[in-house]
Amino acid sequence: MTNTTIYPARRVITMNPAFPTADAVAVRDGRVLAVGTIEELAAWGEHTVDDRFADKVILPGFIEAHTHVMAGGVWQFPYVGYFDRADPDGKVWKGSTSIDAVVERLIEIESEMTDPAEPLIAWGLDPIYMPGERLVAKHLDSVSTERPIFVYHASGHLATANSAMMTRSEITEHTEVPGVIKDADGQPNGELQEPAAMSLATMAFERLIVAIGSAQAKWGYANEARNTGQTLITDLGTTRINDPEQIDAWEEATSDPAYPARVMLAGSPMFGGEEDPVKLAAIAVDVQSRNENDKLRYGIIKLVLDGSIQGFTARVSWPYYYNPPEGAAENGLWLIPPDAVADMVTAHHKAGLTVHAHCNGDQAAQVFIDAVETALERHPRWNHRHTVQHCQLTTQAQYKKMAELGMCANIFSNHLFFWGDQHRDFTVGPERAARMDACATAQREGISYTIHSDSPITPMGHLHTAWCAVNRVTASGQVLGPDERISVMDALHAITIGGAYQLKLDHEMGSIESGKLADFAILEEDPLDVDPMTLKDIGVWGTMVGGVAYQAAARS
């Protein structure tokens, strides 16, 4: 007795160059039996025909190789970001495009809160789009003078507290912690800059940490993936793989048949992970070898070398930053001493793991690429697929060397839309901004690459991310670096088999072909037929993961 279902479609785009399109796909036991005509598939024997996708377009499930589980946790708090954004239940929250709009939104939320002792915590504020305006305590005091309020900015480097939160946190005119900003009268104005100052608001942080670790976060994370077509999402270094409780919590969530995505967990020395690279590598190898769950994957290590470009904390090469704020340092921050990177990479490399290193700036990328070269000299090894994550300023020469070394790239294309204007005008200037997130260069130099959202930094959704790489249109509507645009077909390659390859999953997923997992993105329109400028607007019916269909939440 076999259990075969044939799904006819408007078109199946397989991303298998040997068989690029088909009329239908047959699924058996959670895997692709074959693609072809209905007649060809029927010849496999007993089957049922399921017509529900007959007018849809089926693609390989999208592979998102750089996100964080807090993407699902942040929605336990109200969103006050600039752009409209859908939550994991499909509800679209309007963007707040001015300080007044933020205050208005907070008043509305406050009026609906029942427990008077509960603090109001909001997230996503991005004042980079509101030049000249600053959110301070007096704005938030107009929302409430009694309820503690804490607004966490999108950058992660700044928060604003109201007077009630400051009172609860003992922040006064006597507080000398740098980063507690004071007005002309010496009173704290509510702005808390950088971790030392922000951590004074312990009440807010405790709640944020609980939310991120919750089961609800794991489900919201996968639901957001389902809503936008991802079938595998990578929590890149936020989970502690050395903590059995955290692994058990993931095991519990993903082994539920209703859990709508596969998750890859990276080991990391950050966020309380094991810091000794040899020990971390041993833990990563051990957890991978014991894993029997098809929806939970391991095998990669995340390192973070530098900060962010829009925060002027990425390590960029000379001539450094273009138009930095007054008082800013010449260059960004190292999170790992550059001299220590080669030994760290070597430890993971020797253990057979793949290292994914966050390198926003080109100086950071150079250190990582050189470290991979050192590791290879010490310990020759093929198909390691070590990956530069973000790759925002990676140069042509760096891509060439990455190709020589067998490395991959995961390019942060969403930046082009969300911060492209700021990169041109402030961070790196017009010339370097034109070659940021250079998919065309990576492709020309023969690098296997994918693209990403880094959700919750930007919203998850690979059609939007592909749209960014294809069109390179900024938030103000200008094209940034037209010569780095790629074709829709190349973008589809990047978000499917490109992602699978760098995670070493391409033998199982990333294309629709006989023997691979039945992981699909099911779309309302054919991305190869639409105007590339509307790629992001294609409706997503949902996904199929291991032969099980998961319908996206209705947008509301």
- Binding characters for other proteins, 292-331, by CB under 8 A (x = yes): -----------------------x--x----------xxx
Structure tokens given for 161: 């507290």
**What residues between 259 and 278 interact with other proteins by CB under 8 A?**
272, 275-276
Question: Which of these ranges, 51-59, 69-77, 195-203, 530-538, lies near other proteins under the rule CB under 8 A?
Answer: 195-203
194 contributes a contact to other proteins by CB under 8 A: yes
User: Which residue lies nearer to other proteins by CB, 197 or 512?
Assistant: 197
Q: How far is the CB of 213 from other proteins (least distance, A)?
A: 13
Query: Interface with other proteins includes 181 (CB under 8 A)?
Result: no
Give the residue among 389, 400, 397 at the shortest CA–CA distance from 358.
Answer: 389
Interface positions, 201-230, toward other proteins (CB under 8 A): 202, 205
Q: Which is nearer to other proteins, 179 or 190 (CB)?
A: 179
Residue 494 lies near other proteins (rule: CB under 8 A): no
The amino acid at 457 = I
With contacts defined by CB under 8 A, how many residues of the chain interact with other proteins? 32
Tokens for 438? 């250079």
Angle at 209 between CA 267 and CA 203, to 5 degrees: 155
- 178 binds other proteins per the rule CB under 8 A: yes
Contact between 200 and other proteins (CB under 8 A)?
yes
Q: Which of 400, 473, 392 lies closest to 442 in space, CA to CA?
A: 400
Q: For residue 545, give every residue at least 6 positions away whose Cβ sits within 8 Å of its Cβ, in sequence order, or none.
A: 61, 231, 260, 261, 262, 295, 518, 519
- Of the two residues 272 and 430, which places its CB atom closer to other proteins in the complex? 272
The answer to the question of residue 483 lying near other proteins (CB under 8 A) is no
Smallest separation, CB 272 to other proteins (Å): 5
Residue with tokens 């004074």: 200
Q: How far is the CB of 150 from other proteins (least distance, A)?
A: 15
Helix (H) or strand (E) holding 66: strand 62-67
3-state secondary structure of 449: strand
Told to check if 199 binds other proteins by CB under 8 A, we report yes
Distance of alpha carbon 74 from alpha carbon 86, whole angstroms: 12
Q: Is 21 exposed, middle or buried (0-12, 13-18, 19+ CB in 10 A)?
A: middle
Q: What minimum distance in Å lies between the beta carbon of 276 and other proteins?
A: 5
Per-residue x/- marks for other proteins, 158-177, CB under 8 A? ------------x----xxx
Query: Sign of the CA dihedral 474, 478, 480, 485?
Result: positive
Q: Considering only residues 143, 151, 154, 197, which one is a binding residue for other proteins as defined by CB under 8 A?
A: 197
Taking the C-alpha atoms of residue 365 and residue 355, their distance in angstroms, rounded to an integer, is: 13
Residues 325-384 interacting with other proteins (rule: CB under 8 A): 329-331, 333-340, 363, 367
Closest by Cα among 509, 515, 449, 552 to 62: 509
State the minimum distance, in angstroms, from the CB of residue 188 to other proteins.
Answer: 13
- Confirm or reject binding of residue 539 to other proteins (CB under 8 A): no
Task: Compute the half-sphere exposure of residue 55: CA atoms within 13 Å on the CB side of its CA.
Answer: 2
In whole angstroms, the minimum distance from the beta carbon of 278 to other proteins comes to 9
First to last CA, the chain: 42
Token pair belonging to 293: 């769950």
CB of 434 to other proteins, least distance (A): 24
Describe the chain by its helix, strand, coil percentages, rounded to 5.
35, 20, 40
Smallest gap from Cβ 269 to other proteins, in A, equals 9
For binding to other proteins (CB under 8 A), which residues are involved? 170, 175-179, 194-197, 199-200, 202, 205, 272, 275-276, 315, 318, 329-331, 333-340, 363, 367
